[in-house]
A and B are shown apart, each in its own frame.
Chain A
């Protein structure tokens, strides 16, 4: 590829993109120097993904210019992007699980009539790439047998194999343990040292500060600033993202735990395919405390939450909420709600909300049998409406329109709808999964505060989150789950490294 000396690797000029009435990108100009790691931060819906999709050829900009290495280019498809040396590592991996690493990398770039010749050529090239960048993945292992961190490296390998000079990574650390994330950052630095240009999209400010050279902040479709990472602080970036000052860490008094509300003894969960998801877990949650469960996604936390919330049967052990024992074989969320349980599920889009329903109808979800909402045999739509309006005002849901379809609210407002519904029914126990996943910084602050308020009101809260910062900020006690087991308990002062080790399965006894 011809290059103009000194020209930036990527230059965007006045990029504009509309979706219907929404202007997802407005007049975006950005210049990314070759051989640097450039971070792009912004809240959900700020337009980061749209911008990267334009760069990678998924969308075409309505107007504006893209220059790569100083040359104006048209990127109409991802093939064009690859031809211009742009590679992308998606948040959700695009891998064929039963195929080997080698087969996955070659997929779509087989070359030649027979597979064998292409594979052997690729093997040689990949071995060289692995050596150069310290990528370390077994080429002949099926992808499904690899760890998430390794799978991500396969994605990077794929991009490099196709000759990527510029690498875009979209929220790459969401699924990684802290140690895996560190490994990724080492690889990124190595890539940079070899002259590659890297664009890192994330909402984790700490990572931006740790690994990037420059950082650009987007807000509501606009580029609000680009600064040297050396000059940036988390507070400054957060302020740019939200447009006002935000409290990154909530202040809370010490917990005063009272009686036991949730009592879990030797709980085991085996899923439909016979895999043990939760193995002999025992713990309690008392009134007036927040217990956080830390762990990398997929280590049994989701199954644990679902069982406790009456959505999934369990195979062994006992669980009682407010003294009411759960029936292991016949999960019944309705009965648990009666007993004082409330549940904010991990996946609000599929489970916590029925997104094609309006806000009112979503207020009814889980409380459809509640006499408050009935008038004779029929539903009392007036009562539902006024409750919804109260919830929306109380939780500052915008727009405050009870008749608006749930899917049209932003992630943060959807989460507030779910939280309001669950909290406002005055539960004794709140089970909450990923309280702020996909939620804007401004809303995170609000949600955290409401959770602490609820605790201070003497309620028991069990929280699962893959965000270690969130766990540490909110929890009074921290349980760490690994491979279905609770491998340790720490208090809120536990340091990150220690928790990270536990999350990676290095247990107390091994560490000692």
Chain B
């Protein structure tokens, strides 16, 4: 009876809620644009063109998308286990240290071996940075939001220290590591495809993008197709039911944070090994925080996260283009628009949900009333 209709409705809501939120954010953004005296339609056109209109733009869009996929997945895995990990920023930062160490000191390895090593290093360092807040949450009840925020600050300070005092090459005044050898860089997509005879515009888009997509599949398998993922979701939904089922919430809390931190480390792979080719200060530049919005908008599902990450990637790239073309619309304006989307997708997530649900359930269920007499006890 209503069960089929129920799942259908569920899917409709899952898809429609983000769309409504996005439209609402764009409408409000349009009003803001109007106020400063620009034409919103023209602005949207520029934004879309900047993000998707030409090869280099698409490359940059996907490059940013890669960051958001990693940070979105990182947040989502912890979120499934009931943890609000807002420390992806710091975990990615430390992941960068791992990647840089691998690229600087293991550069004797051939690239097919170095890449897995760098991936492992990014995951290991990110996970290690997430472990402490995870352990404190599990065993001491220290709230994960507080500890991960604090760990972001600690990570920032540690990295400044390391880059200024330890990792900067002798004689250099720059707070950054030595540049990686040519052979210790993540191949660019345009180079790889160029080798196959497909010509693409140059962009920082690199192989980390493929690893990000692979991580989507792995997270999907983990969360919905393994006993561990099932346990993580159970703990996240009902810790008491988890104890009833013989799971250990403490252990699972730590595991969720380890996986989350490892995924956050992926951002460093993209930025450091893929684009900067040296460890620099503040390369995470807020991607970790945007990941929260990406995950919430993507309903913590890898497919949704990919779509949301693409949206934010397009906003970043299209926004930069927009700021360039329209002097009245500064970089800050673009951040306002991003902020509005985050606001509607994250904080105001339930703005349209009740109305939509009421509307759809009534529609879906109306033919069922005839059957209501069916015994249900």
Contact = CB atoms under 8 A, between A and B. Distances in A.
B246 A334 contact: yes
A345 B244 contact: yes
Interface string A357-379: 10001001111110001100111
A335 B366 CA distance: 47
Contact of A220 (B7, B358, B365, B372): B372
A403 B246 contact: no
B375 A352 contact: no
Given A352-B244, A354-B238, A403 B362 contact: no
A420 interface: no
A354 B237 contact: yes
A310 B246 CA distance: 8
B148 interface: no
16 contacts: A20-B362, A20-B365, A311-B240, A311-B244, A332-B246, A333-B243, A333-B246, A336-B246, A354-B233, A365-B234, A368-B230, A368-B231, A369-B227, A398-B375, A401-B3, A410-B376
B238 A366 contact: no
Interface stretch (A180-188, A295-303, A439-447): A439-447
B15 interface: no
Nearest to A347: B240
Nearest to A335: B246
Pick the 7 closest A-B CB pairs, nearest first: A334-B246, A21-B365, A440-B377, A333-B246, A401-B3, A366-B245, A442-B377
B358 A20 contact: yes
A381 B361 contact: no
Given A20-B365, A333-B243, 10 more contacts: A45-B376, A333-B244, A350-B241, A365-B241, A365-B245, A368-B231, A374-B227, A398-B375, A442-B375, A443-B377
A256 B163 CA distance: 78
B368 interface: yes
Interface in B340-368: 358, 361-362, 364-366, 368
A364 B230 contact: yes
Instruction: Identify the interface centre among B241, B243, B362: most chain A CB within 10 Å of its CB.
Output: B241
Contacts of A361: 230
A55 interface: no
Given A21-B365, A352-B241, A410-B376, A399 B1 contact: yes
A378 B368 contact: no
B13 interface: no
A309 interface: yes
A381 B227 CA distance: 11
Contact of A23 (B231, B247, B364, B372): B372
B357 to A, nearest CB: 9
A399 B225 contact: no
Q: How large is the interface on A (under 10, 10 to 19, 20 to 34, 35 or more residues)?
A: 35 or more
Contact of A398 (B221, B238, B361, B376): B376
A351 interface: yes
A162 B246 CA distance: 50
Contacts of B247: 334, 368
B194 to A, nearest CB: 38
B155 to A, nearest CB: 33
Question: DSSP class of A's interface residues: helix, strand, loop or mixed?
Answer: loop
A242 interface: yes
B238 A351 contact: yes
B172 interface: no
Nearest to B243: A311
A357 B376 contact: no
A353 B241 contact: yes
Interface in A371-413: 373-374, 377-379, 381, 398-399, 401, 403-405, 408, 410, 412-413
B330 interface: no
A379 B226 contact: yes
A356 interface: yes
B220 to A, nearest CB: 11
Interface of B: 1-3, 6-7, 221, 225-227, 230-231, 233-234, 237-238, 240-241, 243-247, 358, 361-362, 364-366, 368-369, 372-377
Contact of A351 (B241, B361, B362): B241
B14 to A, nearest CB: 13
Contacts of A337: 246
B interface SS class: helix
A410 B377 CA distance: 7
B240 A351 contact: yes
Nearest to A361: B230
A162 B329 CA distance: 62
Nearest to A356: B237
A103 interface: no
Contact of B227 (A21, A333, A336, A379): A379
A404 B247 CA distance: 24
A345 B227 CA distance: 22
Contacts of A48: none
A379 B369 CA distance: 37
Contacts of B362: 20-21
A220 B377 contact: no
Contacts of A220: 372-373
B245 A334 contact: yes
A242 B377 contact: yes
A170 interface: no
A343 B246 CA distance: 11
Nearest to A368: B227
Contacts of A350: 238, 240-241
Contacts of B364: 21
B230 A351 contact: no
Contacts of B365: 20-21
B73 to A, nearest CB: 19
Contacts of B227: 368-369, 373-374, 379
Nearest to B376: A410
Given A20-B358, A365-B234, A374-B227, A408 B6 contact: yes
B113 to A, nearest CB: 25
A75 B137 CA distance: 48
A43 interface: yes
A404 B225 contact: no
Nearest to A338: B246
Contacts of B2: 21, 399
Given A377-B226, A379-B227, A351 B3 contact: no
Contacts of A45: 376
Most A-side CB within 10 Å, residue of B225, B245, B366, B368? B245
A311 B364 CA distance: 41
A20 B230 CA distance: 32
Contacts of A22: 372
B245 A399 contact: no
B241 A399 contact: no
Contacts of B376: 45, 398, 410, 412-413
A301 B14 CA distance: 42
A338 to B, nearest CB: 9
Contacts of A366: 244-246
Contacts of A351: 238, 240-241, 244
Given A242-B377, A378-B225, A440-B377, A357 B237 contact: yes
B162 to A, nearest CB: 38
Nearest to A311: B243
Contacts of B225: 378-379, 381
